[in-house]
Structure 1
């Protein structure tokens, strides 16, 4: 899958600029389908060229004009067809840190610990951001009420997936650090 469908799905929230879409990606899709701002802007151009989104220019004083994007009916149809098509296969975890951890017995234990602590910090930050978005979506309601009455629940459910992912990242980091602590000096490089 390309970033195409992630962009189309993000535009279900309504009209957005490229900058706004990159922020939406940062707190919604990034936990399962990351994209750089450059990828988003290239994809927006392609989607507009294919007639799946429409762009309009908003003139701004003392700032560059900005383009606002919306889904076209053709884009909605494309997204509907994608949403019900079978998935090709389950996602495989591709994580450079896991390869480094697999090779850690021949590495500097302090450097390995630092990598895990860095991952823990990163996961904690993302989890905090996701929780803030969750609170904003709930807007004082409890989850059951929100899920019963919200116009769209897809963004909330994917947010819950991101929250679960980062919580598991934190659990794994804590477990890995505890193992390193118990092993102590036995992890010295060869």
Structure 2
């Protein structure tokens, strides 16, 4: 899959600047589709050139002008077609930490512990951000109320996917720490 569809899906929320889209990616999409701001800007230019998004310039005082992007009907059609295609293959995990854990028997247990504790800290930070996003989405409503009233449930469901992922990362990290602690005297 290309970044194209992630950007088109993000624009379902409405008009956004490249900067605003990069924040959307940071908060809601980064867990399953990461992109740098530079990649986003390049992709937005391609999408505009291909007629999948439209762009307008907003004049600003004391700041550079900004471009606001909106999904076109052609972009919506392309996204609809993509959304019903079968997934080509399941996602493959590429995580440097897993390689380090694979080789942990060759390293100092304290170093492994530090790596895992750092990952736990990242996961806890993401969970806190996700909870803030969830609270904003619900806006005082129960989940049932939100799901009944909202126009789009996709962002809520993908948010829950991110929450589940980070919770599982924390569980796995706790398991790794427990094993490292049990094995430390053997080293």
- So what's the TM-score if we normalise by structure 1? 0.96
Q: Which has the higher contact order (CA 8 A, sep 6+)?
A: 1
Matches of 1:83 and 1:41, distance apart in 2: 23
Q: CA deviation at 1:185?
A: 2.7
Deviations 1:149-178 (A, max 9, x none): 211000000000000000101111111111
Alignment match, 1:60: 60
Aligned residue pairs, count: 187
Matches of 1:174 and 1:38, distance apart in 2: 35
Deviations 1:23-72 (A, max 9, x none): 11111111111111111111001101101001110010010100100001
Deviations 1:57-90 (A, max 9, x none): 0010010100100001110000000001111011
Q: For the aligned residues, what is the CA RMSD?
A: 0.8
Alignment match, 1:24: 24
The alignment partner of 1:54 has SS state of strand
Residue 163 in structure 1 maps to residue 154 in structure 2: no
Matches of 1:124 and 1:10, distance apart in 2: 24
The alignment partner of 2:87 has SS state of coil
Matches of 2:60 and 2:22, distance apart in 1: 20
- 5+ residue gaps, structure 1, are none
Residue 124 in structure 1 maps to residue 124 in structure 2: yes
Q: CA deviation at 1:186?
A: 2.1
Q: CA deviation at 1:144?
A: 1.3
Matches of 1:117 and 1:68, distance apart in 2: 40
Alignment match, 1:105: 105
- So what's the TM-score if we normalise by structure 2? 0.98
